[in-house]
Structure 1
Amino acid sequence: MTLHGHKTGFGLPPILRSATADLLTRRGAFLLEWVHRYGSPLNLIWPDALQENLAALEGTLVDSRIAHAIYYGAKVNKSPGLMQAALAAGAGIDVSSLYELRDARRLGADGARLVATGPAKTRAFHQELLDCKALISVDSPEELEDLVALLPADGGPQPILLRLQPQDQKKNRFGMPADAVIHSLARLAGENRLRFDGLHFHLSGYRWENRLAALNETAELIAEARQMGFSPTIIDIGGGLPIQYVDEAKYQAHLAAKAPEDYRTGKIPDSFYPYGGALSAADWLRELLQAEMSKGPSVARYLVREGLTLAMEPGRALADQAAISVFRILRVKALGPDTHVIFLEGSSFSACETWFASEFLIDPILVSATGAAVRSSPVRAYLAGHSCLDEDVISNRWLTFPTAPRAGDLIVYANTGGYQMDLLENEFHRHPMPARFCVTEDAEGRPNLVPDTIGEV
Structure 2
Amino acid sequence: MSSLLNVDRQHNTSWQLNVARDLSPYLDPLILDWLCRSPETLVRLTEMYGSPLNIVWPHTVAPNLQAMAAVTASFGVETRFYYGVKVNKSQALLRAAVLAGAGADVSSIQELRDALRAGCRGADLCATGPAKTRDFLQELILQDAQIVVDSPQELQEVIELARNWKRNSTRVRILLRLRPDASRSSRFGMPSDEIIKVLPAVASCKQVTLVGFHFHLNGYAPEPRVNAFFDTLPLFTYARSLGLAPNIIDIGGGLPVQYVESESYQRWFSSQSSNDYRTGLVPSSFYPYGGELNAARWLKQFLAGQDPQGKTVSSWLHSEGLTLCAEPGRSLVNQGAISIFRVCRVAPETDKYSVIFVEGSSFSACETWFNSEFLIDPLHLAPVNKGEQFASGKAWIAGHSCLDEDVITNRLVYFRRLPQPDDLLIFTNTAGYQMDLLENRFHRHPTPTRLTALLNTSHNLTFSIDK
Superposed pair shares fold, TM > 0.5: yes
Instruction: Specify whether residues 373 and 390 from structure 1 end up closer, same or farther in structure 2 by C-alpha distance, changes over 3 A only.
Output: farther
Matches within 5 A, 1:350-369: 350-369=364-383
Q: Is the 8 A contact 2:58 2:454 kept in 1?
A: no
Instruction: Specify whether residues 162 and 220 from structure 1 end up closer, same or farther in structure 2 by C-alpha distance, changes over 3 A only.
Output: same
Q: Is the 8 A contact 1:347 1:431 kept in 2?
A: no
Q: Which residue is equivalent to 2:330? A: 316
How many Å separate the matches in 2 of 1:409 and 1:369? 7
Query: 1:244-268: CA deviations, max 9, x gaps?
Result: 0001111111112101011011100
For 1:100, which of 111, 123, 133 is the aligned residue? Answer: 111
Q: Which residue is equivalent to 2:6? A: none
Matches within 5 A, 1:115-134: 115-134=126-145
Query: 1:407-433: CA deviations, max 9, x gaps?
Result: 111000000010011111111011111
Q: Which residue is equivalent to 2:86? A: 75
Q: Is the 8 A contact 1:348 1:387 kept in 2?
A: no
For 1:26, which of 28, 37, 57 is the aligned residue? Answer: 37
Indicate the SS of the match to 1:397.
strand
For 1:344, which of 343, 358, 374 is the aligned residue? Answer: 358
For 2:450, which of 436, 440, 451 is the aligned residue? Answer: 436
Q: Is the 8 A contact 1:347 1:427 kept in 2?
A: no
For 2:439, which of 413, 422, 425 is the aligned residue? Answer: 425
Q: Is the 8 A contact 2:361 2:408 kept in 1?
A: no
How many Å separate the matches in 2 of 1:390 and 1:3? 28
Query: 1:401-457: CA deviations, max 9, x gaps?
Result: 12121111100000001001111111101111111111113455432202211xxxx
Instruction: Specify whether residues 106 and 444 from structure 1 end up closer, same or farther in structure 2 by C-alpha distance, changes over 3 A only.
Output: closer
Q: Which residue is equivalent to 1:265? A: 279
Q: Is the 8 A contact 1:347 1:434 kept in 2?
A: no
Matches within 5 A, 1:129-168: 129-153=140-164, 154-155=167-168, 156-168=170-182
Q: Which residue is equivalent to 1:377? A: 391
Q: Which residue is equivalent to 1:44? A: 55
Query: 1:305-351: CA deviations, max 9, x gaps?
Result: 21111000000010111111011111112223342211111354433
How many Å separate the matches in 2 of 1:100 and 1:371? 47
How many Å separate the matches in 2 of 1:371 and 1:200? 57
How many Å separate the matches in 1 of 2:35 and 2:336? 15
How many Å separate the matches in 2 of 1:286 and 1:380? 40
Q: Which deviates more from structure 2 when the two are superposed, residues 342-351 or residues 312-321? A: 342-351
Instruction: Specify whether residues 372 and 183 from structure 1 end up closer, same or farther in structure 2 by C-alpha distance, changes over 3 A only.
Output: farther
Query: 1:189-209: CA deviations, max 9, x gaps?
Result: 221111000000011000110
How many Å separate the matches in 1 of 2:390 and 2:66? 45
Shift of 1:86: 1.0
Query: 1:127-158: CA deviations, max 9, x gaps?
Result: 11111010000001011112222224425310
TM normalised by structure 2 equals 0.93
Indicate the SS of the match to 1:49.
helix
- The CA RMSD measured in Å over matched residues stands at 1.5
Indicate the SS of the match to 1:368.
strand
Query: 1:6-40: CA deviations, max 9, x gaps?
Result: xxxxx110011101211222221111011011111
Q: Which residue is equivalent to 1:86? A: 97
How many Å separate the matches in 2 of 1:374 and 1:152? 76
Shift of 1:99: 0.5
Matched, 1:283 2:297: yes
How many Å separate the matches in 2 of 1:441 and 1:408? 28
Q: Which residue is equivalent to 1:302? A: 316
Q: Is the 8 A contact 2:173 2:211 kept in 1?
A: yes
Instruction: Specify whether residues 31 and 193 from structure 1 end up closer, same or farther in structure 2 by C-alpha distance, changes over 3 A only.
Output: same
Indicate the SS of the match to 1:367.
strand
How many Å separate the matches in 2 of 1:395 and 1:325? 14
Matched, 1:247 2:255: no
Instruction: Specify whether residues 85 and 334 from structure 1 end up closer, same or farther in structure 2 by C-alpha distance, changes over 3 A only.
Output: same
Matched, 1:452 2:466: yes
Q: Which deviates more from structure 2 when the two are superposed, residues 321-330 or residues 102-111? A: 102-111
Aligned residues: 448
Query: 1:185-230: CA deviations, max 9, x gaps?
Result: 1221221111000000011000110111001011111111111211
How many Å separate the matches in 2 of 1:19 and 1:44? 13
Indicate the SS of the match to 1:336.
coil
How many Å separate the matches in 2 of 1:170 and 1:347? 36
Residue identity matched to 1:129: L
TM normalised by structure 1 equals 0.95
Structure 2 residues not aligned, in runs of 5+? 1-16
Residue identity matched to 1:115: C
Q: Is the 8 A contact 1:235 1:309 kept in 2?
A: yes
How many Å separate the matches in 1 of 2:387 and 2:133? 53
For 1:193, which of 186, 189, 207 is the aligned residue? Answer: 207
How many Å separate the matches in 2 of 1:24 and 1:375? 23
Residue identity matched to 1:289: L
Residue identity matched to 2:82: Y
Q: Which residue is equivalent to 1:8? A: none
Structure 1 residues not aligned, in runs of 5+? 6-10
Indicate the SS of the match to 2:364.
coil
Indicate the SS of the match to 2:432.
coil
Indicate the SS of the match to 1:188.
helix
Matched, 1:3 2:19: yes
